[in-house]
Structure 1
Amino acid sequence: MLSESRRSLFLLVCAFFALYVIWGSTYLVIRIGVESWPPMLMAGLRFIIAGILMFVWQIARGAPLPTGREWLAGGAVGFLLLSCGNGGVTLAEHWGVASGVAALAIATVPLFTLCFGLFWGHPASRLEWAGIGLGLVGILLLNLGDNMRTSPAGALLILFAAASWAFGSVWSRRLPLPAGPMASAVEMIVGGCILLLGSRLSGEPLSLPASSSGWLVLAYLVLLGSIVAFSAYMYLLKHVRPAAATSYAYVNPVVAVLLGILFAGETIGQEEWLAMLVIVAAVLLVNLPQWGFGKSKVAVAEQA
């Protein structure tokens, strides 16, 4: 039997792997999916199916039904993270933003998270400030590349998605969410319903893909991208500092860019390669306080 400390460490390692690697691959999978699916329809089905599966699983394990207050809180988080956040990324890729570049742009999430955290009285350490600043330099370099200039609307939508995701992440720590994975289930059900409503109101065709690849994409996004990775993210939000939980936004671009080049024929310029190197360096600075280096006095007091 693993000791409690080793079990916690093992869960943290697994959760970070899910965020860094599995979530990084979803950008390419979404890019493939929007070639067969209307974007909001695909995103909505993804989260509704995943949410219902998790909801049934939790009820079967004896979890209590969410209260009305918990449904409202979970719905608010689901709207910000999934309807606006993930839905925005899906739409941006449908509008022509490359999967790797979309992942690079989402690296603004920790910057927004830090700003919203300050609003709620969460000061950052000097190393976190340095990491966020370096990440911002990476974003500036990214915008010098051709990919972001190809779809200005997509670029703006990506930034909106990042801000929505960050705000929802910080706010979720103060809301009366259901316990455990039931919170993810509620968020995905509500977020998915809002995306399907958006699909109908925007006039998307109610068309299903004829190819098997379209259905494989949906299955991958439901099982790994939603149930596994999103649950890992919600777990980290409860157990690590917000800046560390959102540090996946620095690592996902590396995975997404490499997969996009290898399997989708995507290309990025010199500025974007440099931006990726800068962003990868930034994640190390953001994570150092979580690993025990350079913690602020406030952070130490919070963990005492």
Structure 2
Amino acid sequence: MPGLRRFPLPLVGAFFALYVIWGSTYLVIRIGVQYWPPLMLGGIRFIVGGTLMYAFLRWRGVPAPTWPQWKAAGIIGILLLSFGNGAVSMAEHTGVASGVAALAVATVPLFTLLCGYFWGARNTRLEWAGIVLGLIGIAMLNLGSNLQSSPLGAVLLIGAAAAWAFGSVWSKHLPLPQGAMSSAAQMLVGGVVLLIGSALTGEHLESLPPLEGWLAMMYLVVFGSIVAFNAYMYLLKNVRPAAATSYAYVNPAVAVLLGIVFAGERIGIAEALAMAVIISAVVLIGLPQWRRAPERPGVLVPTESRVN
């Protein structure tokens, strides 16, 4: 059927994983940091997930990464996971609501455009308008009571978005391993760096986590790391960066809804207005890139009518 050819099942599943599963991880991280130190939570999560993936792929006969591939994967793993995800965990550990954290990370497409300048990309007027509107949204978000009560959390979240965007753009110019082996290598290196950071900052467990803490860890390993992260890396290789980062439209709404229903979080008027401004900015940024013709045949490039 034409519709199925236009929307291959792997792409549909990958977008679902980014939109829904990644949206839920903000709440699960918020639960997890109640029982695990934030850097330790991320380090264990990615080392376990990366080890399971690496062992499975080697068992299936996938060749081990070469030294240049390990270096490239390590760089991206540190940017996306150690700096990006680690900073989000630390921000939520300071008391930032999961929905507000997701909203701050929604600025990734804004930083993605700015980072593109390192490789000669030039922005349209519409994209510049989106960047300016996004900066206004960030300012409004910081006026809300949630981030005002945690200035460190605000800095960590903006830094996380910038590191994730830079790593996402740079990944397309580095000799990464093929397929899922790239994700496995990135998780292994990123997880090790997080555990080193955990040790250097003196993190330690006061006591063994209860069942809820272990379930949060398992969810992050299986769904947040193995499933969703692989989906993201798959999309980075098969669609434009703007499409791969389009989860920024949906993740804040999913995270806010889950935080309200399951964690009793509340989003103030300032945060709600900031959400509208930031998501509008992301739409403006994404429209020109989603309209462009695909770089190669068979690659899905969503059209304007599917931006939502």
Normalising by structure 2, report the TM-score.
Answer: 0.89
Counterpart for residue 214 of structure 1: 213
Cα separation, partners in 2 of 1:241 and 1:131, compared to 1, 3 Å = farther
Q: For 2:72 and 2:24, locate their aligned partners in 1 and report how far apart those are by CA, in whole Å.
A: 29
The residue matched to 1:173 in structure 2 has which SS? helix
Amino acid at match of 2:33: V
Structure 2 residue aligned with 1:199:
198
Which consecutive residues of structure 1, in runs of 5 or more, have no partner in the other structure? none
Partner of 2:71: 72
Question: For residue 148 of structure 2, what is the amino acid of its counterpart?
Answer: R
User: What residue number does 2:259 align with?
Assistant: 260
Q: CA shift at 1:184, angstroms?
A: 0.2
**1:240 CA displacement:** 1.7
Q: Distance in 2 between matches of 1:85 and 1:188?
A: 12
Question: Structure 1 69/4 Cα, relative in aligned 2: closer, same or farther at 3 Å?
Answer: farther
Residue range with higher mean Cα deviation, 27-36 or 13-22: 13-22
- 1:1-304 correspondence to structure 2 within 5 Å: 6=5, 9-206=8-205, 209-292=208-291, 295=292, 300=293, 302-303=295-296
Q: CA RMSD in A?
A: 2.1
Distance 1:99 1:228, change over 3 A: same
Output the CA distance in 2 between the equivalents of 1:48 and 1:237: 22
Query: How much has 1:118 moved relative to structure 2?
Result: 1.8
- The count of residues paired between Structure 1 and Structure 2 equals 297
**Residue 233 to residue 208, structure 1, CA distance change in 2 (3 Å):** farther
- Distance verdict in 2 for CA 1:150–1:42, change over 3 Å: same
Residue 225 (structure 1) shift = 0.4
CA drift at 1:7? 7.4
Whole-angstrom CA distance in 2 between matches of 1:250 and 1:208: 38
Query: Over residues 164-183 of structure 1, what are the superposed CA-to-partner deviations in whole Å (9 max), with x where a residue is unaligned?
Result: 11111111111111000000
Partners of 1:43 and 1:153 in 2: how far apart? 19
Deviation, structure 1 residue 291: 4.2
Residue 8 to residue 54, structure 1, CA distance change in 2 (3 Å): farther
Amino acid in the other structure paired with 1:120: W
CA displacement 1:170-219 (0-9 Å, x = unmatched): 11111111000000000000100111111111111145633100010001
Match of 2:177, SS state, is coil
CA distance in 2, matches of 1:244, 1:144: 29
Please give the secondary structure, in 2, of the residue aligned with 1:209: coil
Aligned counterparts of 2:162 and 2:285: Cα–Cα separation in 1:
18
Tell me how far apart the structure 1 counterparts of residues 129 and 184 of structure 2 sit (CA, whole Å). Answer: 35
Distance 2:122 2:87 in 1: 29
Aligned residues with identical type, % of pairs: 64
Q: CA contact under 8 A between 1:101 and 1:257: conserved in structure 2?
A: yes
Distance in 1 (CA, whole Å) between partners of 2:277 and 2:8 is 28
Q: Report if aligned partners of 2:140, 2:271 keep a CA contact under 8 Å in 1.
A: yes
Whole-Å separation in 2 of the counterparts to 1:97 and 1:8? 37
Distance in 2 (CA, whole Å) between partners of 1:157 and 1:184 is: 24
Distance in 1, matches of 2:110 and 2:209, equals 41
Distance 2:126 2:8 in 1: 23
User: Per-residue displacement from partner, 1:6-46 (whole Å, max 9, x unpaired)?
Assistant: 27633222212111111111011000000011111111000
Corresponding letter in the other structure for 2:237: K
* Partner-residue secondary structure (3-state), 1:143: helix
- For structure 2, which runs of at least 5 residues remain unmatched after alignment? 298-308
Secondary structure, counterpart of 2:181 in structure 1: helix
Range with bigger deviation, 93-102 or 273-282: 273-282
In the superposition, the TM-score normalised over structure 1's length comes to 0.91
**SS in structure 1 of the partner of residue 283 of structure 2:** helix
Q: Shift of residue 100 of structure 1?
A: 0.9
* Structure 2 counterpart SS, 1:204: coil
Partners of 2:45 and 2:225 within 8 A in 1? yes
Q: Which moved more, 1:267-276 or 1:117-126?
A: 117-126
Question: Structure 2 CA distance, aligned partners of 1:185 and 1:80?
Answer: 15
CA shift, 1:128, in A, is 3.8
Deviates more, 1:72-81 or 1:8-17: 8-17
Please say which of residues 238-247 and 141-150 is displaced more in the overlay: 238-247
Query: Is the CA contact (8 Å cut-off) linking 1:38 and 1:207 kept in structure 2?
Result: no
Change (3 A) 1:291 1:117: closer
